[in-house]
Amino acid sequence: MIEAIIFDKDGTLFDFQATWGVWTGLVIEELSQGDAQLMAALADRVDYDPQTKKLRPSSFVIAGAAHEIVDAVHPMLQGWDWNDLAQFLNGKAALVPQVPVADLDAVLGQLRGDGYKLAVMTNDAESSARVHLAPYLDMLDMVVGSDSGHGAKPDPDPLLAIAKALGVAPAACAMVGDSTHDLGAGRAAGMQTIGVLTGPASRSDLTHLADVVLQTVADIPSWLGTDTT
């Protein structure tokens, strides 16, 4: 029986391309400072398509931890200190307007009202994640980022840390995500896994790691046997 639900953030609670596709393009433009060659090289490095303004499904940025993005582009940027670049990217990330995939007030409120403990584990930095989740923090028991001291997905450690903090056995937790990193971490932690199709991954990408694949998080209450109306 599920007692706690752990959500990924980007592509799960918020539309990935509507937020991070736009963010990536703006950051590349600012970092390249008008250097067309550097702009193209940065886009290629993170697998970003400037024409569609989207990250390609193969991009490591989609499920990567914040520090991995810094590691990838730092060698290409002369004059940037690693920590300064990390701070710059985290600062820009915190300012990105988020586009919810559904009425999150209704979904999270229903789940909360039905007694489920709720948490978010994202490979983003915790500080920017809290900014993005500000309207919903009163419905969440925990927010954990890749820099919160428990590691990053696909390792199960951050999920296990959340389960321990919530006082819920891993087998009584469900991990909800849009990527194989999310669901792989959930499986490795011994949790139930719920895939959603609001990120770049397709149903066939997720099926082998998911106990169920739903269209959006809005379908979770009915899947659990509750009613959102």
CATH code at position 127: 3.40.50.1000
- For the residues 111-130, what does the mean pLDDT come to? 95
Q: Is residue 160 part of a domain?
A: yes
Which pLDDT value is given to residue 167? 98
Both 73 and 148 in a single domain? Answer: no
Reported confidence tier of residue 229, pLDDT bands at 50, 70, 90: very low
Considering its fold, how many domains does the chain have in total? 2
Percent of the chain with pLDDT over 90: 79
Cα–Cα distance, 168 to 229 (Å, whole number):
28
Which pLDDT value is given to residue 65? 81
Q: Is residue 49 part of a domain?
A: yes
Both 70 and 120 in a single domain? Answer: no
Both 65 and 78 in a single domain? Answer: yes
Which of 94, 127, 162 is the endpoint of a domain?
94
pLDDT digits (tens, 9 = 90+) for 38-48: 999 999 999 99
- For the residues 201-219, what does the mean pLDDT come to? 96
Helix (H) or strand (E) holding 162: helix 157-166
- For the residues 96-121, what does the mean pLDDT come to? 95
């997720």: which residue's tokens? 206
- For the residues 166-171, what does the mean pLDDT come to? 98
Both 82 and 189 in a single domain? Answer: no
Both 108 and 182 in a single domain? Answer: yes
- For the residues 198-223, what does the mean pLDDT come to? 95
Both 106 and 210 in a single domain? Answer: yes
Q: Is residue 166 part of a domain?
A: yes
Both 112 and 215 in a single domain? Answer: yes
Which of 61, 77, 94 is the endpoint of a domain?
94
Both 194 and 176 in a single domain? Answer: yes
What is the extent of the structural domain holding 108?
4-15+100-223
Which pLDDT value is given to residue 136? 98
Q: Is residue 229 part of a domain?
A: no
Encode 132-149: b = buried (16+ Cβ within 10 Å), e = exposed.
bbeebeebbbbbbbbbbe
Which pLDDT value is given to residue 228? 41
pLDDT digits (tens, 9 = 90+) for 172-207: 999 999 999 999 999 999 999 999 999 888 999 999
Q: Is 72 helix (H, G, I), strand (E, B) or coil?
A: helix
Which pLDDT value is given to residue 57? 82
Both 107 and 151 in a single domain? Answer: yes
Reported confidence tier of residue 227, pLDDT bands at 50, 70, 90: very low
Give residue 56's identity as a one-letter amino acid code: R
Strand pairing class (54-55; 48-49)? antiparallel
∠ Cα 110 114 120 (to 5°): 65
Which of 94, 126, 147 is the endpoint of a domain?
94
Q: What is the mean pLDDT of the chain?
A: 93
Q: Reply yes or no on whether the pLDDT at 27 is more than 80.
A: yes
Q: Reply yes or no on whether the pLDDT at 226 is more than 60.
A: no
Both 71 and 149 in a single domain? Answer: no
Both 132 and 200 in a single domain? Answer: yes
Q: Is residue 228 part of a domain?
A: no
Q: Reply yes or no on whether the pLDDT at 112 is more than 90.
A: yes
Both 144 and 206 in a single domain? Answer: yes
